[in-house]
Amino acid sequence: MLESAQHASCDPAIEAVLGRAVERIRRDYPDTRAILLKGSLVRGDAGPYSDIDLDVLVSGADESSYAAWFDSEGGRLHHVSLAVHSRDGWWDEAEDPAEWSFGFAALEVFRLLWVDDPEEAARYCGPGLPRPAGEPELEDFFSDLGKLRNARRSGDELGVRLAARAAALLCPSVLATVNPGHPADPITSARAALDAALSFPVAPQGYREDFLRCLGLSGEASDTDDIAAAAERLVLGTVSLLEAHQAWSTDADKPRFELGLDDALATRSLSAYLRQSQD
């Protein structure tokens, strides 16, 4: 079994499960090219209920599939979770932002367990699979506020909550434009992404509380009016910051936001649109 030296070894029980998993995978997926351990066991923050995340890279077309089983070792059951991907497709995925990263640059850490060609092992050296930051999704961000307003007018409480959450999920990608260099390093987990999203140096007043409330993570009971107000502050406050920091591009051939929105920010048309009377 090949092991990536930059990651600490797991405990003996996990190592035993990994050894059997590699044997089973090679038997059940004969076109396997590489087997990788990912997730908390590689990051070093695993707990007693953490699963064993494995990526299996196979030759052939990219038809991803998933499997899971339980293996007994050390007096307890261990959850093995398997994701099967085309090897080429797995590497191509590095060109896209990670879905769980709130738009931040990410690093999907992994440990190489097995590879069919020793000469390929060098390709899997390093800290992990880098994923780029996402583009700011300004149009969907403020459009979600419009959906929220419509839902509120029609008395659709669930619609309000869904739209507020959608806006909050996109907010970090927009705020990142006025927070260059934050975070300093690529994130490696969804929890780290949330921490980065909560710690922007430049953010609207009350941002942390409003962001968490829109996501449904505030820890407090919030009625529809509270959530709607939080989303209003989140979107309007963020757009105001974009204007204050002149976040738009002055190069017409390289707009920062979706085509037309740089001009809408520069002329204050976007904020005028969002603040116009809804009556």
Say which residue the tokens 């105001």 belong to: 240
pLDDT at 38 over 70: yes
For residue 174, the 8-state DSSP code is: H
251 pLDDT band (50/70/90 cuts)?
confident
Distance CA 121, CA 92 (A): 18
Question: What is the per-residue pLDDT for 222?
Answer: 81
Distance CA 178, CA 238 (A): 10
Question: Would the pTM count as exceeding 0.75?
Answer: yes
The rounded percent of the chain whose pLDDT value lies above 70 is 95
**Edge-first strand listing for the sheet containing 65-73:** 65-73, 76-86, 52-58, 32-38, 106-115, 128-131
Domains of the chain: 12-131 (3.30.460.10), 138-275 (1.20.120.330)
The rounded percent of the chain whose pLDDT value lies above 90 is 80
Distance CA 140, CA 165 (A): 12
**pLDDT per residue as tens digits for the range 109-163:** 999 999 999 888 988 988 889 999 999 999 999 999 999 999 999 999 999 999 9
Rounded to 5 degrees, φ, ψ at 81 are -115, 125
Write down the H helix ranges in 85-222: 87-92, 138-153, 157-175, 190-198, 207-215
Q: Closest Cα partner for 210 from 262, 171, 158?
A: 171
246 pLDDT band (50/70/90 cuts)?
very high
pLDDT at 192 over 80: yes
Q: Which residues of 164-201 are buried (b: 16+ CB within 10 A; e: fewer)?
A: bbbbbbbbbbbbbbbbeebbeebbbbeebbbebbeebe
- DSSP sequence for 49-100: T--EEEEEEESSS---EEEEEEEEETTEEEEEEEEEEEHHHHHHGGGS--TT
**pLDDT per residue as tens digits for the range 84-110:** 999 999 998 889 999 999 999 999 999
